[in-house]
Amino acid sequence: MTRHLLDALGDDYSVCCQGTAFFPLQSCMNHSCLPNAKAFKREEDRDGQATIIALETIREGDEVTISYIDDDLPFEERQASLADYGFKCRCLKCLEEEPQATLEHKI
């Protein structure tokens, strides 16, 4: 889908660097603080590719999820980081770690 755009940029844009990128497949994956897959860019991925690997067995029909943030952060820090993405995470990990006072206030 983006091949023609990448080809038009030429070889100067084909080097690895840190920054912002758009990965069509990865952008379709939802976040979980308990992801079943991991997305990353390998050194040899120089043309807009990203690699997605399963972290566990993913059964047919299961949603493939990745973490948008460092999922080892404490609950409050994860929620603050995800606020930049415009949502509050309600994955199983967050539901289990959410402070009880917050839960009681919602009821």
Judge contact between 95 and 79, C-beta under 8 A: no
Residue whose C-alpha is closest to residue 29's, from 7, 77, 62: 62
pLDDT in tens, 42-81: 666 666 667 888 999 999 999 999 999 999 999 999 999 9
pLDDT in tens, 5-35: 556 656 555 444 455 555 666 667 899 999 9
Q: Topology of 3-106 in CATH?
A: Beta-clip-like (2.170.270)
The 3-state secondary structure of 53-100, one letter per residue? EECCCCCCCCCCEECCCCCCCCHHHHHHHHHCCCCCCCCHHHHHHCCH
Backbone φ, ψ for residue 28 (5° rounding): -90, -5
Give pTM, 2 decimals. 0.66
Q: Extract the tokens encoding 14.
A: 């084909």
Where are the domains positioned within the chain? 3-106
